[in-house]
């Protein structure tokens, strides 16, 4: 049955009973029978996680707790809604701060209060007609069958869909997600050949960025912003690009302008704080981290890094008691989070060291190190770098270097991470030593990987697999090693026949790669190949 407004499943989210009732009556009068309501953002999140809704009508202000922007953001991040869901944001206000914040999360439409039934019905009819064609694409994405999702986009485009720009945009996102940069570039160029569209031009910039053509990427993002100064995605990419070009002050200026236009993005505020802190602009950094914490309170982007970064700013401004107060708040907010406990303990150690309290400093660092050992390879690069930062402060150069060496080896192809690590060494007067360690670590991983591939090509798949198995045990977060080992195992299955043990190992590797980077091109190729070999879907 094709989806119509009458057979759609609807969720109405508003903190005022009167408004919920009014909207419910409007929708009911349109012939809709499947209608749920929620009075808070928290309730809405719970219902969205349990039920697949076709239409969500959500007020922006929802009282204490998550607002409409944060509910939509969480629903998208957690996959509770897909491209076929209609999301209508309702608001009584249209301040720039609210509109820009909500617009970045891309609801399908806005309605300004007061609302009448004719207006609501007209908008919903148009949206449901436009969005129902996207259901097959969404189903394929949920099944992680990106090739099928892209094929569905092509079917829609060939049948002259009523929303070709939206479908081309979805297709381009899918191509970028699976690392098909050549195909994505061709799509962007086909759009740009007709007219210059901000999302397509930004897409070309992203491809230049991923190809490490940073100056070309910068030129493109600047071009986007000249014609579309409120296109925030281009601002974020421009800031990242300036950073990799070593233009740190320019990156800070770009971010300051971006948060002036749209201040309610916690990830952007955090990026501004990190950039300003690097530049020594402590007042700017402090304001950005404080804003990050404030707007992240009910956001899915809430993270301990903002608290530990703010504590570091307080410490550098010679306010250690304020730093400890911030870290105490972090402990309270993230009491069951191991990574947060590691970051907080490491930051406390640095503050106590600054205060001339070596016993407390050592005790805090011992706690951080114990927790890291317990987490065994499951600690993020950001947390590891925070611990290394403190180890440098404590004069434990060898421990810090060893920790950073592991981070580089697990992320040897990441230019951004290598730059951050190089900066950390530089800030501690070890610039040349850091560069040498980074290069040596990268070369070591490349050599191991190349040797494994060489053995496989010579026909000795088992020897190649064993070499990469050993490397994967030492470097559990290196996606290149993991995916290449998976490729060798699939080669063994092809050559030697089915083996549930080998297939299970390959699936475990694929899952680890998926968690590290869903955009790994070979992840999707190897998943499909493994399914074919083992007769699964």
pLDDT tens readout for residues 307-356: 999 999 999 999 999 999 999 999 999 998 999 999 999 999 999 999 99
Cα–Cα separations (whole angstroms), residue 169 to 158, 180, 191, 210, 433: 15, 14, 10, 19, 45
Q: What pLDDT score does 453 carry?
A: 86
Is the CB of residue 111 less than 8 Å from the CB of residue 144? no
Q: Could you tell me the two tokens for 202?
A: 């930004």
Cα–Cα separations (whole angstroms), residue 121 to 3, 27, 28, 259, 298: 15, 8, 11, 35, 31
Angular region, 180: left φ>0, alpha ψ -120 to 50, beta rest: beta
Angstrom distance (rounded) from CA 246 to CA 231: 23
Nearest CA among 245, 298, 294 for reference residue 273 = 294
Q: What pLDDT score does 405 carry?
A: 95
Q: What pLDDT score does 121 carry?
A: 92
Is the CB of residue 50 less than 8 Å from the CB of residue 75? no
- Give the residue ranges of the chain where pLDDT is below 70: 1-3, 98, 102, 536-537
Is the CB of residue 530 less than 8 Å from the CB of residue 510? yes
Is the CB of residue 214 less than 8 Å from the CB of residue 236? no
What are the domain boundaries of the chain? 9-132, 303-403+417-434, 448-534
Provide long-range contacts, Cβ within 8 A and 24+ apart, for 510-519. 510/486, 512/476, 512/479, 512/482, 513/479, 513/482, 513/483, 513/486, 514/144, 516/477, 516/479, 516/482, 517/479, 518/177, 519/176, 519/177, 519/178, 519/179
The contacts of residue 258 (CB under 8 Å, 6+ apart) are: 232, 235, 236, 239, 268, 272
Looking at the DSSP assignment, which residues form a beta bridge with residue 112?
91
Q: Where are the alpha helices (DSSP H) in 30-95?
A: 41-50, 68-77
Dihedral pair phi/psi, residue 455, rounded to 5°: -60, -40
Q: What pLDDT score does 261 carry?
A: 92
CATH class of 9-132: alpha beta
Q: What pTM was estimated for this model as a whole?
A: 0.89
CATH of domain 448-534: 1.25.40.10
The contacts of residue 60 (CB under 8 Å, 6+ apart) are: 67, 68, 69, 89, 90, 91, 93, 98, 102
Q: Could you tell me the two tokens for 264?
A: 């309610």
The contacts of residue 224 (CB under 8 Å, 6+ apart) are: 198, 201, 202, 205, 231, 234
Nearest CA among 329, 263, 296 for reference residue 67 = 296
CA dihedral 460, 461, 464, 466 (to 10 degrees): -120
Angstrom distance (rounded) from CA 436 to CA 452: 24
Q: Could you tell me the two tokens for 473?
A: 């045990």
3-state class of 81 per DSSP?
coil
Is the CB of residue 40 less than 8 Å from the CB of residue 65? yes
Q: What pLDDT score does 3 carry?
A: 60
Is the CB of residue 509 less than 8 Å from the CB of residue 484? no
Q: What sign does the dihedral 268-274-275-279 (CA atoms) show?
A: positive
Query: Tell me: the pLDDT tens digits for 387-446?
Result: 999 999 999 999 999 999 999 999 988 999 999 999 999 999 999 999 999 999 999 999
Angstrom distance (rounded) from CA 384 to CA 406: 9
Domain 303-403+417-434 part of CATH 1.25.40: yes
Could you check whether 303-403+417-434 and 448-534 share the same CATH topology?
Answer: yes
Give the angle subtended at the CA of 501 by the CAs of 496 and 507, to the nearest 5°.
100
């Amino acid at each position: 049955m094709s989806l119509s407004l009458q057979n759609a499943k609807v969720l109405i989210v508003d903190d005022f009973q009167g408004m919920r009732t009014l909207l419910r009556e409007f929708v009911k009068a349109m012939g809709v029978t499947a209608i749920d309501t929620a009075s808070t953002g928290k309730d809405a999140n719970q219902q969205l996680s349990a039920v697949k809704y076709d239409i969500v009508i959500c007020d922006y202000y929802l009282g204490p707790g998550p607002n409409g922007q944060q509910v939509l953001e969480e629903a998208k991040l957690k996959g509770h809604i897909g491209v076929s869901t209609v999301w209508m944001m309702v608001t009584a206000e249209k301040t720039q701060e609210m509109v820009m914040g909500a617009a970045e999360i891309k609801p399908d439409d806005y309605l300004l209060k007061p609302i009448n039934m004719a207006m609501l019905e007209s908008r919903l009819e148009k949206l449901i007609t436009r969005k129902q064609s996207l259901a097959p694409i969404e189903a394929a994405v949920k099944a992680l069958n990106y090739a099928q999702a892209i094929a569905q986009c092509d079917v829609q485009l060939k049948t002259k869909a009523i929303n070709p720009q939206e479908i081309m945009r979805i297709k381009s996102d899918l191509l970028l997600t699976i690392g098909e940069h050549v195909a994505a570039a061709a799509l962007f160029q086909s759009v740009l050949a007709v007219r210059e569209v901000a999302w397509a031009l930004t897409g070309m910039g992203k491809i230049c960025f991923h190809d490490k053509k940073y100056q070309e990427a910068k030129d493109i993002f600047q071009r986007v912003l000249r014609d579309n100064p409120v296109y925030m995605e281009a601002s974020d990419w421009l800031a990242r690009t300036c950073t990799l070009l070593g233009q740190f002050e320019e990156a800070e200026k770009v971010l300051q302008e971006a948060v002036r236009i749209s201040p309610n993005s916690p990830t952007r505020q955090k990026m501004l704080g990190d950039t300003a802190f690097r530049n020594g602009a402590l007042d700017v950094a402090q304001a950005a981290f404080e804003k990050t914490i404030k707007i992240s309170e009910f956001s899915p982007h809430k993270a301990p890094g903002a608290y530990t970064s703010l504590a570091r700013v307080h410490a550098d401004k010679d306010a250690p008691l304020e730093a400890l107060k911030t870290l105490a708040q972090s402990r309270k907010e993230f009491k069951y989070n191991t990574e947060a406990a590691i970051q907080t303990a490491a930051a406390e150690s640095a503050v106590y060291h600054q205060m001339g309290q070596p016993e407390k400093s050592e005790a805090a660092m011992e706690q951080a190190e114990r927790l890291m050992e317990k987490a065994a390879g499951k600690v993020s690069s950001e947390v590891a770098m925070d611990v290394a930062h403190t180890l440098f402060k404590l004069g434990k150069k060898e421990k810090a270097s060893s920790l950073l060496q592991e981070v580089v080896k697990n992320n040897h192809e990441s230019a951004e991470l290598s730059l951050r690590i190089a900066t950390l060494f530089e800030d501690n007067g070890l610039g040349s030593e850091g560069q040498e360690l980074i290069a040596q670590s990268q070369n070591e991983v490349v050599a191991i990987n190349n040797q494994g591939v060489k053995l496989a090509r010579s026909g000795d798949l088992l020897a190649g697999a064993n070499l990469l198995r050993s490397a994967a045990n030492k470097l559990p977060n290196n996606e290149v090693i993991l995916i290449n080992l998976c490729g060798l195992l699939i080669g063994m299955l092809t050559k030697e026949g089915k083996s549930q043990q080998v297939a299970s190992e390959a699936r475990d590797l694929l899952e680890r790669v998926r968690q590290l980077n869903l955009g790994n091109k070979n992840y999707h190729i190897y998943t499909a190949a493994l399914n074919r070999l083992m007769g699964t879907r």
